[in-house]
Chain A
Amino acid sequence: MTSVSIYLILPYVGAALAFILGKMNQKLAFWVAEIVGAILFGTSVYVFMHYGETPIDIDYTWIAYGNLTLPLGIYIDHLSIVMLLIATGLGFADIHFAHDYMGDDPDQPRYYAKVLFFIGGMILLVIAKDLIGAFAGWEFMGLASYLLISFWFKTKSAADAGMQAFLYTRFGDIFLLAAIGLLVYFVGNINMVDLDSLAKAGEIDKTVAFITAIFIFLAAVGKSGQFPLYPWLMNAMEGPTTVSALIHGATMVNSGIYIVARLFDFYAYTDALLVVANVAALSAFIGATSALVQKEIKKILAYSTMSHLSIAFVGLGVGSLAAGMLHLMNHAIFKALLFLSAGAVIYIAHHTKDAWKLGGLIKTAPYVALFMAMGSMSLAGLPPFSGFFSKDMIIAEAITHGSPFVYTLVTIAGLLSIAYITRLWILIFLGEPRNEDIAGHVHAPGNFFIRLPLGILAFVTLGIALYQTDAVEYIVGHEIEEPHVKGLLVGLLLGMATLFAIVVGLYVKGMNLLEKISKHRFMQIIHQLLFRGYYVEAGITFISKNIVVNGIARALRWVDTYMIDWVVNATVPFARMIFRGFRIGHTGRIGDYIGTYAIGVAIIVVAILIIVKGV
């Protein structure tokens, strides 16, 4: 109960405090955020340690009058605790890391306030029992994400990216709201736990369940950067790297997966999981291939995020809650590590984001190189890192239960991760600096605020690999039997080895060959297609610009300007006339006021007389 109050109140109080105290003294903002982050993480650990047999379940009615009841319950079970540990733990690490990374920024109070507000939203989402509470957390995060992407709002690209993220995710969010409306109307219940059990018992109409499930998935598509609503995630990299690490790498983008996992039985009840699996497989493929050719460090990581979220979605889609959630958890940790390492690289290289300009950084920052390599290996799915177990499990599940389309694409996506992440690592750390501005100006990272959080995350990435079976059991509540596909492991390892060899060969030894290949016309077309993310953004922009903005919006604007405005403007003289009429009584003389008082008394007396006479 205490922990729930801490979760519900502290982030917001902390945000306000960080802002207000930070305005007095810049340094205070960080320390307030750090302390609040630590308390939140401590609370999560406490809840994890002291979790009893049954979930923490608090019913609360937000509003109830007439036939309208809006519940706002709290529900913390194993699934929530995993998410809580991820959100608060990574949030804490991220705040700690930001001390150096954001150290020169004059707007630190604003930064930390927004980050704490974000963590509050994430917590609210994962501990909410009802869709209303989840929706509130969902929207809090959307707002925080918008505010943080456009944190440096004075640069146009950042402001635009924030707006884009807001609009793309909002497009999905409308469907979540619609789903809530449908559930209230048709099922009369928006309690996520009840929905699962109702679906299990088969007490919900299949059509309604299917439509709502798809609607909720559309919101998840927006939030988790799935096809076709992913372009915002790439542009979101305009924000500070610490923000990308926390929000667009490790936590918020997971919320789509979380909500599907929370409503897993509800999804399994209809064919909605098929849709999830297919969309996700396609997204995984798009993300993995596009990541191969990006220039900016953060964009490579963003596409890989998209790809790996999709892989987790595929896990859910082929019917394995355990595989999906396990990959979500592993991915959150190693992706935070990768993003923060990228942040460290960007920080020591004076905010250079283009991987092609870097190179040879292993001499200046050997530890960062090591930690990033560990994250990379986990992402690539090399044993014994955590990424290996979950990815292997998902591919095996997909082959056992999924369609050929799904498992082909997800296997390709899974294999390609080693290619793009090796390419990134080689470009940053090996060779010689490829840009003269940076060569010789790179400074070494600090110990406490940069190396320590990276080291801890790297250690966790490696260490958690030991507890994969326990984690699965913890999440689903019982032991599960992993499907065994003959020869899969060998095949995957061989594939990875081949890809690894090709990438190393091309980028370490064969730069000339690489240049020759990339000059080829056909390769350039493919390169452009991948580099632009399959032109999905261009397509969406085209549709929204020509049909929505120039068509519908323009027509509405005409109606607004020439019809509605006219009516509104016409009421002004009318209102002023009424005002003049009323003002007659307000002379400012007390005698007149007593006069109007008498009128009031007269009204009451007349009313009473009428009643006495019995009219």
Chain B
Amino acid sequence: MNSLIILIGAGLLVPLFFKGKIVIAKYIATAAFAFAAFNVFMGHGISMEYFTLTPDIQLLEIVVLIVLAATMMTFSGFERPLVSQTLFLGAASMAMLETNNFLMFIVLFEVIAIISYVLGANIRSRLNAEGAIKMFVAGATASGFILLGFALFAMVTPSFNYAEIAIRGNFTLVAVGIMLAGIFYKMTIVPMHGWAGDAYAQINHSAAAILSSVIKVVVVIATFKAFYIFLQAYLNTTVLLFSFFAIITMTLGNFMALFQKKIAKILSFSSIAHAGYMLIPFAAIASGYSYTALVYLAVAYIFMQTSVFLLLNDLRREAHIKTLDDIRGLYQRSPLHALFFTIQLLSLAGVPIMAGFISKAVTFWAGVDAGLWPLVLIAALNSALSVGYYAWVIKHIYFDTTDGYNTSKIYMTPGSLLGQLILLAGTIYFGIFAAPVFVSTGI
């Protein structure tokens, strides 16, 4: 409860400091996140009815709050409007992760959706506007579906608590299907992904960093918790449906990223491809490792995805770097940016000692454990394919020279450095120490 009050209070307080430099606002926000993270670490959740704090959720919340704090540190004056929204998002994420009530889940889903529209609405160019509008229209459609599905579901269930949800024949099945259609929008599952490929690349990159990592992860985990009982009840459907969506999402995401010229597009399609990997634990629900795999994917993904988009944000703000041609020889212009970018991209590609590797290994194991060999095989091939475009970016950073292009040095602000170091520490920590996730999810 304390954490929520602090986060929301800070969110309401910070606009007072928006005039001039936003340093004070950043300090307040970072302190609020740190306090909330510490509170959660000490085991104090929201502790109200409908909310429970389990070890796995505790770990996830700490990760989410730390990542948001790191994101906050990298903000500059351009991201002024995002500060308080990020704080609200922290509070909403905590609630969303902890809830054990379906009604709360739906409400918080909408809350997060609205926060994401506001995050996207930091409009400074036509492109930003286009991205924000796309996100909003697609989001509105999705909300309609979710509410329709929820209405159907509400007619038959005696209680909204996860433990007491009743499954009443085909009514529930249809309701769940329709709700999933809405949730898939937020998870950017092909073919509900159309908006994301554009919007992530078009809106302000720092907003995209939050949208494509924190929000996606929170929604995925909360959905898994909320729908667990349904997924178990219709096991065959689950396996078929989620395998199908996982395969087309991964494949389309990776192939679309392969030939892009804009870095932001590569990253947004890679984010879509990762949504595909995140469906594997859903399909592998029969395995005891599926939840561990999902949490690991979430934890690993949140660090690396946030980091790459924030780095890109830095590069675009400082040096107008947008395409692969622009990023050539980045190593000479800014060794720090180059290093962070490379490590996080390698992690996304799934190279060992980075979190991306173990998360994929555990996920694939969960798939094998559930007997989904073909799915895992396709995912592994996809993972190999993805190295194609990650390595391509790294090649441009390190092995190409800036010939003829702008060669001026790029400065990294101390805040950005600190934020990136935190994200890097997370990527490497969870790449080496697997036990925290395993233990918290009860393996």
Residues of B close to A578: CB separation below 8 A: 255
A residues with a Cβ closer than 8 A to B are: 60-66, 575-576, 578-579, 582-583, 585-586, 588, 590, 592-594, 596-597, 599-601, 603-605, 607-608, 611-612
Q: Do B192 and A612 touch (CB < 8 A)?
A: no
Indicate which residue in B138, B181, B443 contacts A593 across the interface (CB closer than 8 Å): B138
Residue on A with the closest CB to B130?
Answer: A588
Assuming the A-B contacts A65-B443, A608-B173, are A596 and B194 also in contact, with contact meaning beta carbons closer than 8 angstroms in the complex?
yes
Residues of A close to B178: CB separation below 8 A: 601, 604
Stretch at the interface among B15-23, B75-83, B325-333, B431-439: B431-439
Complexed CA–CA distance, A597 and B183 (Å): 12
* Distance in Å: Cβ of B160 to nearest Cβ of chain A: 22
* Distance in Å: Cβ of B241 to nearest Cβ of chain A: 5
The 3 closest A-B pairs by CB, nearest first: A593-B194, A596-B191, A600-B191
Assuming the A-B contacts A582-B252, A596-B194, are A65 and B137 also in contact, with contact meaning beta carbons closer than 8 angstroms in the complex?
no
Having A61-B435, A62-B435, A611-B236, one finds 15 other A-B pairs with CB under 8 Å, namely A65-B289, A576-B259, A582-B255, A585-B194, A586-B198, A590-B137, A593-B138, A594-B137, A594-B141, A596-B192, A600-B189, A601-B145, A604-B181, A604-B241, A607-B237
Q: Do A601 and B181 touch (CB < 8 A)?
A: yes
Q: Do B255 and A600 touch (CB < 8 A)?
A: no
Q: Do B433 and A590 touch (CB < 8 A)?
A: no
Residues of B close to A63: CB separation below 8 A: 358, 434, 438
B240 close to chain A: CB less than 8 A? yes
Q: Do B256 and A586 touch (CB < 8 A)?
A: yes
Q: Do A590 and B134 touch (CB < 8 A)?
A: yes
B107 close to chain A: CB less than 8 A? no
Residues of A close to B138: CB separation below 8 A: 590, 593-594, 597
Q: Do B365 and A65 touch (CB < 8 A)?
A: yes
* Distance in Å: Cβ of A577 to nearest Cβ of chain B: 10
Residue on B with the closest CB to A63?
Answer: B434
Residues of B close to A590: CB separation below 8 A: 133-134, 137-138, 195
Complexed CA–CA distance, A603 and B191 (Å): 10
Residue on B with the closest CB to A599?
Answer: B191
Indicate which residue in A64, A65, A575, A607 contacts B255 across the interface (CB closer than 8 Å): A575
Residues of A close to B358: CB separation below 8 A: 63
Complexed CA–CA distance, A596 and B256 (Å): 16
* Distance in Å: Cβ of B229 to nearest Cβ of chain A: 17
Residues of B close to A607: CB separation below 8 A: 177, 237, 240-241
Q: Do B434 and A582 touch (CB < 8 A)?
A: no
Assuming the A-B contacts A66-B369, A597-B141, A597-B191, are A579 and B258 also in contact, with contact meaning beta carbons closer than 8 angstroms in the complex?
yes
B170 close to chain A: CB less than 8 A? yes
B12 close to chain A: CB less than 8 A? no
Residues of A close to B137: CB separation below 8 A: 590, 594
Residues of A close to B174: CB separation below 8 A: 608, 612
* Distance in Å: Cβ of B432 to nearest Cβ of chain A: 8
B419 close to chain A: CB less than 8 A? no
B185 close to chain A: CB less than 8 A? yes
B362 close to chain A: CB less than 8 A? yes
**Residue from B138, B194, B198, B234 whose CB has the most chain A CB atoms within 10 Å:** B194
Q: Do A60 and B435 touch (CB < 8 A)?
A: yes
Q: List 19 A-B contacts (CB under 8 A).
A: A63-B358, A64-B438, A65-B292, A575-B259, A582-B255, A583-B256, A585-B191, A586-B256, A588-B198, A593-B138, A596-B194, A597-B141, A600-B189, A601-B145, A601-B178, A601-B181, A604-B180, A608-B173, A611-B234
* Distance in Å: Cβ of A32 to nearest Cβ of chain B: 15
Residue on B with the closest CB to A607?
Answer: B241
**Residue from A579, A590, A592, A594 whose CB has the most chain B CB atoms within 10 Å:** A590
Residues of B close to A585: CB separation below 8 A: 191, 194
Residue on B with the closest CB to A604?
Answer: B177
Q: Do B256 and A65 touch (CB < 8 A)?
A: no
Complexed CA–CA distance, A65 and B197 (Å): 35
Chain B 135-146: CB-based contact to A (< 8 A → 1; otherwise 0): 001100110010
Indicate which residue in A61, A579, A605 contacts B177 across the interface (CB closer than 8 Å): A605
* Distance in Å: Cβ of B124 to nearest Cβ of chain A: 19
Assuming the A-B contacts A594-B137, A608-B177, are A600 and B434 also in contact, with contact meaning beta carbons closer than 8 angstroms in the complex?
no
Complexed CA–CA distance, A161 and B52 (Å): 60
Assuming the A-B contacts A66-B369, A600-B189, are A586 and B194 also in contact, with contact meaning beta carbons closer than 8 angstroms in the complex?
yes
